Amino acid sequence: MRTLLLAIVFCCVALQASAESGHGGPKLLNANVDLGNTESLQRGARLFVNYCVSCHSAKYMRYGRVAADLGIPEDVMKANLMFATDKIGDTMNIAMKPADAEGWFGVTPPDLSVVARSRGADWLFSFLNGFYVDDTKASGVNNLYFPSTAMPHVLWEMQGINRAVFETETQHGVEVPVFQRFETERPGTMTDIEYKRATRDLVNFLVYVGEPAKMVRYALGVKVIAFLFVLWIVAYALKREYWKDVH
């Protein structure tokens, strides 16, 4: 029985390690998102509207909900984070037709409402930082964490253009290219630290979009803990009062 339990534990650890390593691919970067950082969420919302909504929808999220949750006044939301034809109660849809998108990109760009829940924050952050130039692809780029992705590098002006350096290694008797590092071929408008902060903000916003109720739970959790702390003080005072004459 003990041997069986050890075997199960070993298998669980192995599976977790495999998942964390990206199923044999390069190690994922740490997104380190923080839903408590409202400014980060606001910056992420701006990036999402400016760079993502032209192709990707978030059809389960409404502009009004974003404004309320992130503390953005509705007039600011309408002026800076919405298209002229949108209304505050509309969901974050796109005007591009699926058939047109498939003709241009080969696939229909997915809705991003729950992508952070399906892929994970670390994967999204790694993906946005994993583009490199590849002349064999129609878009001119490839991605370290999603090989042969149909998505162009829409943030290339911010990050610049990187070239990936691979070295050939023998694994299980087969020669495979192994990623070593990125080399900057053309600098962008941001430094590496600035770009990582920007993509972290964008991922932070996508995590929020995937489960906006988290914001409510976090706010409610603080109140519940405060209430329990006050209740503990009252209960302790009552306990001392009841037991003070007990010898």
* Least confident window among 164-168, 183-187, 241-245: 241-245
Q: Which of 24, 21, 30 is nearest to 125 (CA)?
A: 30
> Where do we find the tokens 């192994």?
178
Tens digit of each residue's pLDDT (9 = 90 or more) over 126-183: 999 999 999 999 889 999 999 999 999 999 999 999 999 999 988 888 888 899 999 9
pTM beyond 0.75, yes or no: yes
> Where do we find the tokens 């902060």?
197
Q: Where are the domains of the chain?
A: 27-211
Contact 191, 158 (CB under 8 A): no
pLDDT at residue 15, rounded to an integer: 41
List all residues 6 or more positions away from 114 whose beta carbon is below 8 Å from its beta carbon: 60, 209, 210
Ranges of beta strands (E only) in the chain are 58-62, 91-92, 131-133, 141-143, 160-171, 174-187
DSSP string, 203-243: HHHHHHHH-THHHHHHHHHHHHHHHHHHHHHHHHHHHHHHH
**Within its chain, how far is the Cα of 170 from the centroid?**
34
List all residues 6 or more positions away from 30 whose beta carbon is below 8 Å from its beta carbon: 122, 125
Q: Which of 110, 104, 166, 102 is nearest to 133 (CA)?
A: 166
* Least confident window among 6-10, 124-128, 191-195, 223-227: 6-10
Encoded tokens for 9: 């534990």
Tens digit of each residue's pLDDT (9 = 90 or more) over 4-49: 444 443 444 444 444 444 445 689 999 999 999 999 999 999 999 9
- Give the right CATH number for 27-211 from 3.90.79.10, 2.130.10.30, 1.10.760.10, 2.40.240.10: 1.10.760.10
Cα(181)–Cα(106) distance, integer angstroms: 29
